[in-house]
Structure 1
Amino acid sequence: MNIERFIEARKALVLSQMELAEGICTQATLSRFENNGQVPNLKILIKLCNRLNLPLGELFPKVGVKYTEATEKMNKAEFFLITSEYDQASDLLRSIALSEIEENSLALRFHYLNGFVMIAQQISVTDILFTFDQILLADDRAETEIFRLLAYTGIGMVYSREMDPDKAEFYFSRVLESIYAYPIQTTEDIWRVLNIVFQSGTFFSQIDEIELSNALLSYAVSICSDNHVTYYLARAAIQLAKNAIIQGKPQQEVLELIHDARAYSKINKNTIALKELAQLESAILSGNPATE
C-alpha cells in the first residue's frame, strides 16, 4: 500500500493528523497507519480518503495495468515452460520490468521462471545460481515454500547439466523431503509440483536410480489423473519409456508407453514431444534405442 501517497495528500491540504481524523477515527489510529503501516478497517480508510479527495485506488498501485500485464505474461510464460517452448517464454519474461513488480510472490515467480528458462537455454551456471539465490534469500513466508523447492530443483538441474551428480543429488534430496507433503490447492500449485516431481524423476533416471525415478514419474501421472491435468502426462510417459529401455523391458511394453505419450501429446498439441517420440519409436523399431 502506498502510504506515502496518503501522507502527501494530507500535507497538501495542510491538515494535521488530528484534524483529518476528527469525527472519523482517533488520532492514534491515523498515526499507526501513517507511521507503522497498520491499516485501519476499510470503512475508516474510505472516509479518510474522501476527506482528502484521494481515490482509494491510488493507495494500491499494484492493482493497476502493469501488475495485470505482468501476471498475464507470467501465466503464458509458465505454460510455455510446461510445453518446453523456451524461446517464447524467454521473450515474455524479457518484456517484464522486474523493478515494477511490488508483489513478493510475483517477484519469486519471475525468478523461478527465469531460472528454468535459463537452464534450457544453456546460460552460464553463475547467472542461473544468482537467479535462484533471489528466491533462497527471500523472506521466509508461506508463499515462499513452493518457490524455494523450485529453486532447489533448478539448482539440482544445473549441477546435473554440469556433470556433477553428487551436488545435484544433494539438492534433489532436499526437494524430496518436502514435495510429497506439499498441499496442492491451486492450478498453479499443480503445475509447479508436477515440474518438481518430473524433473526429480528425470534426474534419478540419469544416475540409474530407476526404481525411485519410476516412483516419482508414477506420482506425476497420479497427480495429473487426480486433477484432470494432461500437460505433464506426455513428458512423464516419455521418461517412463526411456526407463523401460534402460531396464531392458520388452519392446512391446516400451512401444505401449510411447503410444500413450503420443496420445497425450496430441491432446496438448505438443509438437516438441511428438517429434521426440517419433525419433524414439524409430530407434526402438530399428533395434537401436537411445535414451538421451
Structure 2
Amino acid sequence: MNIERFIEARKAMGFSQVELAEGICTQATLSRFENNGRIPNLKILIKLCNRLGLPLGDLFPKVGVRYTETIETMNQAEFFLVTSEYQQAAALLSTIAVDTIEDSTLSLRYLYLQGFIMIFQNCSITDILFNFDKILLEDDSSGSEIFRLLAYTGTGMVYFRENEQEKAEFYFNKVLEKIYLYKETELEDTWRVLNILFHCSVFYSEVHEIEASNTLLHYALSICSDNHVTFYLARVASQLVKNAINQNEPQELILELIYDARAYAKINKNTVLLNELATLEQSILANDYELDEKR
C-alpha cells in the first residue's frame, strides 16, 4: 500500500494526525498506520480517505500497469511469429524501449522473440546467437526455464540454417531431454511449448527422420486439444502435410490433411499459410492429373 501517498494528501490538506483522526479513530491508530505500516480496518481507512478527498484506490499498488502496453505489444508480435508475418513482428518489437524494461521475464521474452524473428529475416548468425546467449547466461530460475528451452531451439535452428547439422542436433536434443517434462503454468507457456515442438519437428523432417517429426507434431496437437488452443494448430497440421508428401502417402490422405490445415489457418487468419496450402493443393492435384494422363 502506498502510505506515502496518504501522508502527502494529509499534509496537503493541512491536517495533523489528531485532526484527521477525530471522530474516526484514535490518533495512535493513525500513527501506527503512517509510521509502522499497520493498516486499520477497511471502514476506518475509507473514512480517512473520504475526509482527505483521496480515492482509496490511489493507495493500492498498480499491479502490472507499468508494462501493460509492452505486454500487449509482445503478445501481438508473438502472434505474428506464429502466423509467419515476421516483418510485422519485427516492426512491433522495434517500438519497445527494451533498455527501460526491468522485469526479468519480459526481458527474456523480448530476447526470445527478437532472436526467432531475426532467424526468419536471415540476420547474421552472431547477432542472432547474441540474443539467445543472453538468455542462457541468465540465472537458471524457474521463470527462465521455458526461455532457455526456446534459446536452445533457436540456436539449433540457426546452426541448421548454416548447414551445421551436428551442432543443430546437439541443441535440439537438449530441448527434447526436457520439453516432455515441462509443465505449462500459463497460456503463454503453452504457446511457447508449441513453438518448440513445431520447430523441432521441422528439423527432424528436414533431416528425413519423419517418424520423430510426426511424433512431435501429434504431441503438439494433443496439447492444443487439451488446452483448447488454436495457435499453432495450422502450422502443425501443415507440417504433417509436408511429412505425408515426403513419405509418398496416398493423395486422399494428403488432401485431407491440407483441408484440416486450411480450416485451422482460417481460424487463426494465417494468410501466409493459406497461400502456401493452396499452392500445395494445386501441386498435389496436378501430379495426380499427370499420373492419370500417363495411364
For the superposition of Structure 1 and Structure 2, which TM-score range results when normalised by the shorter chain?
A: 0.7 to 0.9
Q: Which residue of 2 aligns with 1:218?
A: 218
**1:280 Cα deviation after fit:** 0.8
1:38-72 Cα offsets, whole Å, 9 max, x none, are xxx7859xxxxxxxxxxx9899799554x222111
Alignment of 1:1-292 (within 5 A): 24=32, 43=39, 63-65=64-66, 67-287=67-287
Q: Structure 1 residues 220, 63: closer, same or farther in 2, change over 3 A?
A: closer
Q: Is 1:105–1:143's contact at 8 Å kept on the other side of the alignment?
A: yes
Structure showing greater Rg:
2
RMSD: 3.0
In structure 1, the residue matched to 2:18 is none
1:131-163 Cα offsets, whole Å, 9 max, x none, are 111100011111000000000000011111111
Range with bigger deviation, 208-217 or 72-81: 72-81
Change (3 A) 1:138 1:254: same
Summarize the Cα distance change of 1:42–1:188 in structure 2 as closer, same or farther, 3 Å threshold: farther
Q: Structure 1: how far apart are the matches of 2:75 and 2:237?
A: 25
Taking the aligned partners of 2:255 and 2:236, their CA distance within structure 1 comes to 14
Q: State whether residues 32 and 38 of structure 2, in contact with CA within 8 Å, keep that contact through their aligned partners in structure 1.
A: no
Structure 2: gaps (5+ residues): 9-30, 41-56, 289-295
The number of equivalent residue pairs is 251
Output the amino acid matched with 2:262. Answer: R
What is the rounded CA distance, in whole Å, between the counterparts of 2:96 and 2:63 in structure 1? 14
Tell me how far 1:287 sits from its aligned partner: 1.6
Report % sequence identity.
Answer: 58
1:194 is displaced (CA, Å) by 0.2
Letter in 2 for 1:200: C
State the alpha-carbon separation in 2 of the partners of residues 43 and 75 from structure 1.
Answer: 37
TM-score, length-scaled by structure 1: 0.78
Q: SS of 2:287's equivalent?
A: coil
Partner Cα separation in structure 2 for residue 106 and residue 226 of structure 1: 27
State whether residues 156 and 172 of structure 2, in contact with CA within 8 Å, keep that contact through their aligned partners in structure 1.
Answer: yes
Provide closer, same or farther for how the CA distance between residues 60 and 226 of structure 1 changes in structure 2, counting only shifts above 3 A: same
Pair 63,281 (structure 1): closer, same or farther in 2 beyond 3 Å: closer
Give the TM-score of the pair, scaled to structure 2.
0.77
Paired residue type of 1:149:
L
- Indicate if the aligned counterparts of 2:153 and 2:199 stay in contact, CA closer than 8 A: yes
Q: Matches of 1:150 and 1:120 in 2, distance apart? A: 15
Q: Secondary structure at the match of 1:194?
A: helix
Q: Which secondary structure does the structure 2 equivalent of 1:287 belong to?
A: helix
Instruction: Report the counterpart of residue 34 of structure 1 in structure 2.
Output: none
Give distance in 2, aligned partners of 1:80 and 1:230.
Answer: 14
SS in 1 for 2:93: helix
**Cα deviations across residues 173-197 of structure 1 (Å, max 9, x unaligned)?**
0000111111122110110000000
Greater relative contact order structure (CA < 8 Å, 6+ sep): 2
